[in-house]
Amino acid sequence: MLAQLMARFKRDMKGSAFMFVLLMGFWLLLSGSVDWQHLLMGFFLVSLLTLFWNQLTIDEVGKTKITWRQFRIFLRYSLFLAFEVLRANFIVARIVLDPKLPISPGLIVTRLALKKDLPRVFYSNSITLTPGTISVDLEGDRLLVHGMTRHHAFGVRSWYMYDILKDLEEAEESA
């Protein structure tokens, strides 16, 4: 099994390196410190997680395909998501602090044209991460969303983040 794992690691060095860098960046972001103890522990944990990732994907024939276009689209998505979460925090705070408390909760079912599971999960999790909305159910191509106001719920249908994920999915297909 170790020989298989090392063969997978050597066969998909690019994917393993990308996973390591991505996880290490996330570790540094969460730890908030770059002293030697955090770096050493992060290196150990990220190496272990990268090996587990390799074990999960050991039966796949192809290599991990990550293009610069996919990376740029994902980076753009991440930055816009951070902006949207921050913006939604202020909007929800304004609603909650308003003496009239202008909430009008609503549910909406929307259909997703995203074909792959990962972009669909990214989209539904992005909705949940954004204050004022929560993804209640994702089954097939149907997504049930609850919003603090009807505007929040109905805004999911035309959210530009969906278009960015469509671009990411198309970039993956053309890779």
| pTM across the whole model | 0.70
Instruction: Write out pLDDT tens, residues 146-166.
Output: 999 888 888 888 889 999 999
Residue carrying the six token digits 């066969």: 11
Mean pLDDT of 16-45: 88
**Coil vs helix vs strand at 142:** strand
Instruction: Collect all residues with Cβ–Cβ distance below 8 Å to 30 and sequence separation of at least 6.
Output: none
| pLDDT bracket for residue 2 (50, 70, 90) | low
| 114-138 pLDDT per residue, tens | 888 878 888 999 999 989 899 999 9
Q: Please state at what angle helix 13-31 crosses helix 36-56, rounded to 10 degrees.
A: 140
